[in-house]
Amino acid sequence: MATGAGERHRVYAAQFAALVDHVSDWEAPSPVVGWTAHSVIDHLTTWFPAFVHAGSPYGWTRRTSATDAPALAWAEQSNAVQLILGDPAQADSSFHHPQLPSCTLGEAVDRFYTPDVFMHSWDLARATGQEFELDPGFAEELLRGMESMEEVMRSSGQYGPRVPVPDSAPVQDRLLGFIGRDPHWSP
């Protein structure tokens, strides 16, 4: 498991990029109801820039639309986020979002965005028929943290109903079930 915000983003963004590089059908359905492989990229490259701009003077201007060039849009965003995390002036700057407690911009990336990239990697892999396993250490860490605030997460509308998974299932399956995915989903 990667440690530190910059390293964690670097590792999980690179894994996501490797999946992006092997997508042959951007319209393939994904495990997220109503989404395609393309929707996964569009989601990540749309919500996060707006989130950063809402709570910080830093950020970037989205140059390439995921509609026009999903792989390029992903590469641009991944690089922009890594630049933020690599610059202490940006990473350590105050981040104030109306729906969150105050933190640094680096902490906001690490708490909200990198886990989203991590979890959506499975979605993109499944949609496009690629083999992929989530890092069990990070999956366990996320699952523990999210279970402690399940009511808040479910009420946000960002997560579907929990999919029942046996307590004895691998942590990847338990995390996927928690976030509303069927661990055995296939197109």
Q: Which H or E run contains 109?
A: none
Pick the CATH number of 5-132 from 1.20.120.450, 3.30.930.10, 3.90.1150.10, 3.40.50.700: 1.20.120.450
Domain boundaries, the chain: 5-132
At 148 the pLDDT is 84
Q: Which pLDDT score, from 0 to 100, does residue 1 have?
A: 61
Backbone phi, then psi, for 94, in 5-degree steps?
-70, 140
pTM: 0.93
CA dist 116 → 50, 80, 138, 140, 168 (Å):
15, 16, 12, 15, 24
Query: How far apart are alpha carbons 88 and 83 in whole angstroms?
Result: 10
Look at strands 94-95 and 103-104 and give their pairing.
antiparallel
Give the pLDDT of residue 2.
60
Q: Low-confidence residues of the chain, pLDDT below 50? A: none
Give the pLDDT score at 160: 79
* CA atoms of 79 and 75, how far apart (whole Å): 6
CB-based burial label for 88 (10 Å; 0-12, 13-18, 19+): exposed
**Residue 41 near residue 70 (C-beta atoms within 8 A):** yes
Predicted pLDDT of residue 99:
78
Q: Read off the tokens for 121.
A: 């990697």
CA angle at 29 for the pair 142 and 133, rounded to the nearest 5°: 35
The pLDDT, as a whole number, for residue 132 is: 95
Distance CA(146)–CA(79), nearest Å, equals 27
